[in-house]
Amino acid sequence: MTAVDLEAKSLLKRFGSHVAVDSLSFAVTRGSFFSILGPSGCGKTTLLRMIAGFIGPDSGDIEIGGRSMQGVPPNRRPVNMVFQQLALFPMMSVGENVAYGLARRGVGRAEREAKVAAMLERVGLPGAAGKRTDELSGGQRQRVAIARSLVLEPTLLLLDEPLGALDLKLRERMKIELKQLQAAFGTTFVYITHDQSEALVLSDQVAVMNAGRFEQVGSPQALYYSPATPFVAGFVGANNRIEGRVSALHGALADVTTPEGWVVRAQIQAAPDGRRPSVGDAATAFVRPEVAVLGRTAADLDRPTIAPGDEAAPVHEGVVESLLFDGANSAVLLREARSRAEFRVALPQTGRYADLKVDERVLFTFAPERAVCFATGGGGTGGGHG
C-alpha cells in the first residue's frame, strides 16, 4: 500500500447554517500533486485552512503523515502554506524571508545561511538572498514563497491559488515551473484553484469540489473523459450541454430528446448511487466541442460509426452564429436547426472551414460514445458552466 501523507476523516465545518465542508473524507498519497478544483464559495479555501490549522473542524479529523492534527496549532504542524498573495514579508530581505521558519526552529545562523543559499539555488534564484522582495518579478516572488516553505521540509505543502494574481503569460510559465519543482522536491502538494486548466495540467489527482463535497476524485484524464456527475462535466473543460428526456435506450447509449424534438445520442453515465436513466427520465447530455466534426454537405461529413452495428452516427444541422477565433482553440458557435440551442464545435487544425460565414448552414456529427449523458431527475446536482 502506498504511504498516505494527508487523510481527512468525515471533516465537517459549518458557518452559521451554511455547511462549508460537508463530511469530507479523502486521502492524498505521498509525493503526489493533489488539486482541489471548484468554483468560488465551494468550500475549498475553508478546507485548506483547516488542513493548515487556521480554523478547526466542527467534527472529523485530519491526519498528516499518520498523526492526528487535533488541537495542533498551525505553527506546530508539518505543513506549510503558499498564500494567494504570497505574503512575503516586505520588511525582510529575500534571504530573511526564506530563513524565517528556520530561525523560529532555532537553527543556528551559519547553518541557516547555508540552507537558504542552497534552497535559493534549487529554485533558480542563486545569490538573491540580499535582495528586497519588491525587487523581484512576480514569478521570482512566487519561487521565494515556495522556497520559504520548502526549506522547512514539510510533509505537505499547501498552495492557495498562488497563480491567481499573475498575468496570463506568466501563469502559463509558472504552471510548468510548479510541476517541475514538485517533481524535483517530491513533496506532497495540495493545491486549490478555480482554474480547471491549472488543475488538469499540474495534478496527479484532482478533486472537483462543489457545495462542500467532492463530486469526483480522479486523474485529470478521468475527469475529462468520464465525468461522474453533470457538475464535473460542466465544470471541467468546455462542454455543450443539452437538456431533455430519455426517448430511447440502445445498450450503453441513450437518446436524449429536447422539448423541441432534437435527438442527441450519448453514452450513459451511471449516477454515483448507481442509478441509470430509463425511458422518460429527465436527462442532460454533454458533448465536447472537439468531439464534433463539421461538414458543409453530407458527402464531406466524416461520420463516425457506432460500435455494435457499425451504424453511422446521427447527423445534426445548424446555422453558424459566430466564429470564435482563438488560435489552436478556435471554434464555431452554431445554433442547432430544430431547437435553436447553442452548440460549439472546434474548428479543425488544418484550417479547413476557417472560411465559414455567419448564417451559413452546416452539418455536424459526433461519436455518441464520446458524449455522455446523466439522468438529472429527482434533484440531481446541477450547475456548472456550459
Site residues, another protein (CB under 8 A): 52, 54, 73-76, 79-81, 83-85, 87, 89-92, 100-101, 104-105, 148-149, 152
CB of 131 to another protein, least distance (A): 18
The CA distance from 217 to 115, in Å, is 37
> Contacts for 49-54 with beta carbons within 8 Å, 24 or more apart?
50/11, 50/13, 50/21, 51/6, 51/8, 51/79, 51/156, 51/158, 51/190, 52/77, 52/79, 52/81, 52/158, 53/77, 53/79
The CA distance from 349 to 222, in Å, is 25
- Which cell numbers hold the place of 53? 490549522
> Is the CB of 158 or the CB of 232 nearer to another protein?
158
Q: Under a CB-based contact definition with an 8 Å cutoff, are residues 4 and 155 in contact?
A: no
> Is the CB of 150 or the CB of 283 nearer to another protein?
150
CB of 99 to another protein, least distance (A): 10
Contacts of 230 (CB under 8 A, 6+ apart): 284, 286, 374, 376, 380, 381, 382, 384
CB of 101 to another protein, least distance (A): 4
> Is the CB of 111 or the CB of 260 nearer to another protein?
111
> Is the CB of 161 or the CB of 336 nearer to another protein?
161
CB of 132 to another protein, least distance (A): 14
CB of 109 to another protein, least distance (A): 15
CB of 137 to another protein, least distance (A): 20
> Is the CB of 76 or the CB of 296 nearer to another protein?
76
> Is the CB of 144 or the CB of 373 nearer to another protein?
144
Q: How far is CA 386 from CA 8, 242, 332, in A?
A: 31, 9, 15
